[in-house]
Amino acid sequence: MKKKPNKKKIHNCSECKKSCSRRGYAYKASKGLSESIVCQISEEKGEQAWMLEYRLKALRAFEAKKMQSWGPDLSELNLDELCFYLKAWGKQESCWQDIPENIREPFEKENIQNIEQESLGGLGAQYESEVVYHNLKKEWEDLGVIFCDTDTALKKYPELFKEYFGTVVPYDDNKFASLNSAVWSGGSFIYVPKGVNIKVPLQTYYKMDSDKLGQFERTLIIADENSSVSYIEGCTAQSYSDKSLHSAVVEIIAKKGAKVKYYTIQNWSKNVYNLVTKRAHAYQDSLIEWVDCNVGSGVTMKYPAVVLKEKGAKTTVWSLSVASCENQVQDTGAKAIHLAENTTSKIVSKSISSNGGRASYRGFIKVAKNAKNSKSFVQCDGLMLDGKSRSDAYPYMDVAQREVDIGHEARVSKIVDEQIFYLMSRGLSHEDAQSLIINGFIQPFLKELPAEYALEVDRLLSMGMKG
């Protein structure tokens, strides 16, 4: 007989109560992870029974899986100390002025309201575990585009949601995907109808303001045949000494002839573990582009993947990782799995390590036996700015088809003294010369970003370099 989940009252510890009343949270789950917490989250969201069942199945998968033995050290991540669900405010608005000032303020600092007006087709803002703001411009709404938070999508479009949810990243894919599947909250849901090309990007901004918090958003993007969409994900967090966890799952489905471009600009604070699963399924003649910038977080493990399922599918991954302080680990990379003929993948990864940081590239290229005439090119460049830092590359290529063209190259080096000397002889200071060279190093990546974000990344980078 199936055990009936125990539905406990929410605020059962005095510490939580104090914290909630001080900050005025609408809801905060007790720390630690259990079946009861998962049930509370589902109940609080008023979900259908199948979703609770799915969450509990994922929780069991999470408990059964061991922590991975490879990659960065995660021993300091204590899941028992984390709060897995925190609703700061009970509502969601489509007008910034209706949002309480204490929640609005961190977003205002990032100037995202102006960016929304000037250059976005729609914007979402997630604060702690829930999305507090969501808006899609009417012109796109009229064309049938759906852009809302994932919880709303589950309620408003249950059939569409159920058809695709968990199909790209199953609940038992890896330990942290299981964790996300058990306690997911927030994120974005995008559906682009057939033939609709959204010319301006959509964006969601993620903010963590509390310590010892886990943020587990779930993003699902479905681009129907011959449609196109660009989506930007921005992340920041308040800095604390206690560890927090961000473990998102992103699923993208690009149907025949569709184009999806997914940007990430990640600037979590250094106390955040950023352990993310991102994967896309690309069907016939579709194109998936990941543009992935990792500047913040203490430990990042992120390997955006694309499964090229049908002929003519293409993918490009642009990745930039900056490990700029001691003990910061950026373990990033990309995966491309060629399952059909005439598929193409290109991965360009740039990493910079300085001040004792460690940047690693971990990649995977698989060419299945029936992936005739596939092409893949991987380039990973590491730049080391001092002798305390570390740069690694762990690519893995498995090729089972002979009619292919596969190439990989990687290089780790420092800034050549002659280049610095040349620029200094032209009147630049040592610092400016170094910045100019770094800028040149990441230029191929910056070119892929929209202009305002390229400037932002450049600014983040120079702040990071200066510690």
From the list 24, 90, 195, 407, which residue makes contact with another protein (rule: CB under 8 A)?
A: 407
Among the listed residues 100, 392, 424, 437, the single contact to another protein using CB under 8 A: 392
Least separation in angstroms between residue 393's CB and another protein is 4
Q: Is 200 a binder of another protein (CB under 8 A)? A: no
Candidates 58-66, 130-138, 218-226, 397-405; binding stretch for another protein (CB under 8 A): 397-405
Choices 212-220, 256-264, 318-326, 400-408 (CB under 8 A): range interacting with another protein: 400-408
404 binding another protein? (CB under 8 A): yes
Q: Residue 380 or 460: which CB sits closer to another protein?
A: 380
User: Alpha helix (H) ranges present in 396-429?
Assistant: 417-425
Q: How far is the CB of 344 from another protein (least distance, A)?
A: 15
Decide if residue 405 touches another protein (CB under 8 A): yes
Q: For residue 402, state whether it binds another protein (rule: CB under 8 A).
A: yes
Candidates 307, 304, 305, 308; CA nearest to 343 is 308
118-143 core/surface letters (b: 16 or more CB in 10 A; e: else): eebbbbbbbbbbbbbbbbbbeebeee
Q: What is the chain's alpha carbon radius of gyration, rounded to the nearest angstrom? A: 22
Distance CA 441, CA 413 (A): 11
What is d(CA 61, CA 196) in angstroms, rounded to the nearest whole number? 38
Cα separation, 459 vs 464, whole angstroms: 9
Q: Under a CB-based contact definition with an 8 Å cutoff, are residues 334 and 445 in contact?
A: no
Structure tokens at 145: 């585009």
**How many angstroms separate the CA atoms of 374 and 382, rounded?**
27
Does the footprint of another protein cover residue 400 (CB under 8 A)? yes
Q: How far is CA 136 from CA 95, 141, 200, 382, 407, in A?
A: 11, 7, 11, 39, 41
Site string for another protein, 366-385 (x = CB under 8 A): -x-x------------x-xx
Would you say 114 or 370 has its CB closer to another protein? 370
396 binds another protein, rule: CB under 8 A? yes
Task: Give residue 164's identity as a one-letter amino acid code.
Answer: Y
Q: How far is the CB of 430 from another protein (least distance, A)?
A: 16
- The CB-of-387 to another protein minimum distance in angstroms stands at 5
Give the x/- contact pattern for another protein in 93-112, rule: CB under 8 A.
--------------------
List contacts with another protein (CB under 8 A). 367, 369, 382, 384-414
